[in-house]
Amino acid sequence: MRRLLLTMLLTAPLVSAAPRVEATYQVGRIETRLGEILFVLDDQTPHHKASFIKLAGEHYWDTLTFNRVIPNFVAQGGCPDTPEGFSRSPYLLAPEFRPELRHVYGAVGAGRDDNPQQLSAGCQFYIVANKAGLPRLDDHYTVYGQVFKGMDVVEAIVAQPKDSTNKPLTPIPLHIEVVAMTSAELARQGYVPK
């Protein structure tokens, strides 16, 4: 009997006592006077993702605004509101174009000027506000996120009265942070990670 019990114990499958850890996703959270926008940061663009997390952690955007808003195009913000614009970005990033990441409605991309290397401004971002997408921007601007909550807020932002440079007449200040969410939490918001 003792030998049978020992054999059963030695051949039984091992059961791990460690709890299963659920994967988490990094989510950009943009808070504005018009509401909240949530988007998943994509692992396929590690340098843009790390840059966004770094600047959010430093509260870089807390004194900046959505400074370019165009219906059926983009809500853009994050660069210093100065005539120098992109030249005041803290750094530039090499492009991370991915065939899986397109300029669909709600895509979050990195702004840039007309530099021939297509380097992104570290601080400049935009959200696609065209329901048909903006395929002409694919493989020219890096997409590094996708909005899953708050496109109604983006639509309200691009509808704001603005001046001849597309800057809102009433500023739309940014408060940005990055939060971790599980796949279950994302699912409750209507987003299923790929």
Share of the chain above pLDDT 70, in %: 85
For residues 35-44, give the mean pLDDT: 98
Q: What's the whole-model pTM score?
A: 0.86
Give the pLDDT of residue 6. 46
pLDDT value of position 9: 47
Residue-wise pLDDT for 82-118, tens only, equals 555 556 788 899 999 999 999 999 999 999 888 899 9
pLDDT one-digit tens code per residue, 117-141: 999 998 999 999 999 999 999 999 9
Residues 6+ apart with CB under 8 A from 159: 71
Judged against a pLDDT cut of 50, whether residue 36 lies above it is answered with yes
Dist CA 188 CA 27 (whole Å): 14
Q: For 150-167, how does the pLDDT look when each residue is reduced to its tens digit (9 = 90+)? A: 999 999 999 999 999 999
pLDDT at position 83 is 56
pLDDT of 23: 84
User: What's the pLDDT score for residue 5?
Assistant: 45
Distance between CA atoms of 69 and 126, rounded to whole angstroms?
Answer: 9
- d(CA 59, CA 90) in angstroms, rounded, equals 13
For the chain, the average pLDDT equals 89
Show the domains of the chain with their CATH numbers. 25-188 (2.40.100.10)
Give me the phi and psi of 58, to 5 degrees please.
-90, 0
3-state secondary structure the chain: CHHHHHHHHHHCCCCCCCCCCCCEEEEEEEEECCEEEEEEECCCCHHHHHHHHHHHHCCHHHHCEEEEECCCCEEEECCCCCCCHHHHCCCEECCCCCCCCCCCCCEEEECCCCCCCCCEECCCEEEECCCCCCHHHCCCCCEEEEEEECHHHHHHHHCCCECCCCCECCCCECEEEEEEEEHHHHHHCCCCCC
